[in-house]
Chains A and B, each alone.
Chain A
Amino acid sequence: MNYLTRRLVTFPLVMLGVSILVFVSIRLVPGDAITAMLGTEAGLLTPDQRAALEAYFGIDQGWLVQYGRWLAGALQGDLGISVTYGKPVLDVILERFPLTLELALLSMAIALLVGLPAGVFAATRNERSSDLVVRILAMIGQSTPNFVVGLLIIFVLSVGFGVLPVMGTFTPFFENPLQNLGQMILPAITLGFAFAASVTRISRSAMLDVLSEDYVRTARSKGVPALGVIWRHALPNALIPVVTLSGVEFGYLLGGAVIVEQIFALPGLGRMVLDAILQRDYALVQGSVLFIALNFMIVNLIVDLTYALLDPRIRLGDR
């Protein structure tokens, strides 16, 4: 069985493992969902009322039955009802997902726009002082936690310019693109910062590898101009590790950026999961974690496929 077939076959198995892990762990959380939802008022419920509520949210049976019911539903796109929001889990997730997707795309765009040219530039200036500056900046970028970046941005804006980032009600992109971008740009820069640093480092080292290849030397000796060698001959091959890195990083970002969403008060997936865990909203935690893991695995699978497409030398059967 070659690598890709094996990946495809194990995919559902791993998802099943993920679903079991999530299902069991959220049920190990002390306290119950009804009490978490109603607070002290839960004490006022009669046993019948409590039983009715538990039946409504599907938490009245044993774990095995609950899991079976949940899995059967999940396979048909029914992830249950969120206790906190009082609506289907999938609806709650899909409401939050566009923001998370947009944030991930924006951060990746920033990372590639900054990181790729910086990495290529540094590689062509190998060991000169400009290369050193880029490398130091990239190392610092990679070592700065995104909440430090976010807080520093807020600090510089508020102290230096007397403005605060727009927080409060979130405007979806298709409602008012300008206003939306105004809200998204700072969080995107925050997330894109370390991402750009990683892209810089990996594109620099990939570019250095490629520039020492024979075919690049051949192109140079044929008299292809320096820029032509870099852009047409070297870059396409140096892109392979960049694609891998960006893909994996993008997959992470699709899981929501808990901390950055928290700092900039954005209603994304990350904060929703955090709140759901704190609220013991079983159905929402299960559904969203499954959703995130599924996204993450699909993105990784696509990255692997792209990898094979970009580099025909890779014999996936050997991995």
Chain B
Amino acid sequence: MSLLRAILAHPSGRIGGVIVGVYLLIALLGLLGMTPHDPLMQFRVDRLHAPDAVYWMGTDLFGRDVASRLMLGISQSFVVAFASVALAATAGTVLGLAAAWFGKGWDGLIMRVMDVLLAFPAILLALLIIAVVGPGTWTSVAAIAIVYTPIFTRVVRGPALSLKTRDFVDAARTFGSSRHYILTRHLMLNLVAPLTVQVTLALAWALLTEAGLSFLGLGTQPPASSLGLMLSDSRNLIEMAPWLLIFPGLAIMIGILGFNLLGDALRDILDPKMRRAAA
């Protein structure tokens, strides 16, 4: 609760929080099918219809309602972003803790494998993974998760290494606490802050990557809707139907902005070093 209050007291936290909240609501409505029209329904007579009271954001080349597709696209992008970040954060935390805790050979092995993954520009690695498995929603999830796992591993390993040598961990060990207890209670609780910040910022990247992959035709497949796909479809119709570009473009931008603002606010709130600098 105090975190929520702190976010709302922070200027960019407030804006970011509201944006993310509204998007979550839209995504939920989209998932529940509560859209103004059926997103797949083709209103043939109203193809490329400009925005009006019936079609708030106009219709596309097939006469489908852009507003409804946008809502569905937001849910789609959110599902991919949340699923991939959840996977990456979990895998990264486990690997980072393992590297820090077991040290020596394990540390070397895990971190070198992460170095290999980090040696690729993110989108290239994602393309390679998609080429192997074939395009699709869950492939995007896996690809984005693999791309971001090394970052979480690093975020966890660094603090875990220094926490490991702290007195309270030694004390817990002398008390006879099990390894599992120390890892989950003592280390993890202290890692919650950096992880929260990283998760929020990673969600912004994941949205961006998902949109990029779908834009290239390698993410979400038609007739399902995704923001990247909608933009890609708008390419040749920009002059005739600018609403096909403007609305999905704004939707992606504002969504990513929301997570970035929230992430920045969380970093200010949760990182004691930053807090001191601000004061």
Contacts and interface: CB of A to CB of B under 8 A. Distances in A.
Interface of A: 10, 13-15, 17-18, 21-22, 25-26, 28-30, 139-140, 142-145, 147-148, 151-152, 154-155, 158-159, 209, 251-252, 255-256, 258-259, 262-263, 273-274, 277-278, 285, 289, 292-293, 296-297
A251 B122 CA distance: 11
User: Which applies to chain B's interface (DSSP): helix, strand, loop or mixed?
Assistant: helix
Nearest to B261: A139
B215 A18 contact: no
A21 B113 CA distance: 10
A188 to B, nearest CB: 18
13 contacts: A10-B112, A10-B115, A14-B115, A17-B116, A144-B252, A145-B256, A148-B253, A151-B238, A151-B245, A152-B245, A159-B238, A255-B120, A293-B120
Contacts of B216: 258-259, 262, 274
Contact of B231 (A28, A142, A148, A277): A148
Contacts, number: 120
Contacts of B257: 139-140, 143
Contact of A293 (B12, B119, B131): B119
Given A17-B113, A18-B120, A148 B239 contact: no
A17 to B, nearest CB: 4
Contacts of B242: 155, 159
B251 to A, nearest CB: 10
Interface in B109-145: 112-113, 115-116, 119-124, 127-129, 131-132, 134
B132 A151 contact: no
A148 B252 contact: yes
Nearest to B260: A143
B99 interface: no
Contact of A252 (B113, B121, B128, B254): B121
Interface stretch (B25-33, B181-189, B204-212): B204-212
A28 B132 contact: yes
User: Which applies to chain A's interface (DSSP): helix, strand, loop or mixed?
Assistant: helix
Contacts of B173: none
Contact of A274 (B127, B132, B260, B261): B127
B249 interface: yes
Contacts of A151: 231, 234-235, 238, 245, 249
A139 B260 contact: yes
Contacts of B3: none
A97 B115 CA distance: 24
Interface of B: 12, 112-113, 115-116, 119-124, 127-129, 131-132, 134, 204, 208, 211-212, 215-216, 228, 231, 234-235, 238-239, 242, 245, 249, 252-254, 256-257, 260-261, 264, 277
Contacts of A285: 128, 131
A84 B134 CA distance: 20
Contacts of A28: 132
B249 A273 contact: no
Contact of A152 (B121, B124, B249, B256): B249
Contacts of A154: 238
A22 B132 CA distance: 11
B128 A292 contact: no
Nearest to A148: B249
A152 to B, nearest CB: 7
A147 B120 contact: no
A40 B83 CA distance: 39
Contacts of A259: 123, 212, 215-216
Contacts of A159: 238-239, 242
Contacts of A158: 238-239
A14 B121 contact: no
Nearest to A276: B131
Contacts of A22: 128
A278 B235 CA distance: 21
B256 A296 contact: no
A258 B132 contact: no
Contacts of B122: 252
> 9 shortest A-B CB distances, which residue pairs?
A17-B116, A255-B121, A143-B257, A143-B256, A277-B131, A148-B249, A293-B119, A28-B132, A14-B115
A155 B238 contact: yes
B105 to A, nearest CB: 14
Given A139-B257, A159-B238, A293-B119, A30 B134 contact: yes
Given A145-B253, A251-B121, A252-B121, 9 more contacts: A22-B128, A143-B254, A145-B211, A147-B211, A252-B122, A255-B120, A258-B124, A258-B216, A292-B121
B261 A155 contact: no
Contact of A147 (B128, B212, B260): B212
Contacts of B239: 155, 158-159
Contacts of A10: 112, 115
Contacts of A143: 204, 253-254, 256-257, 260
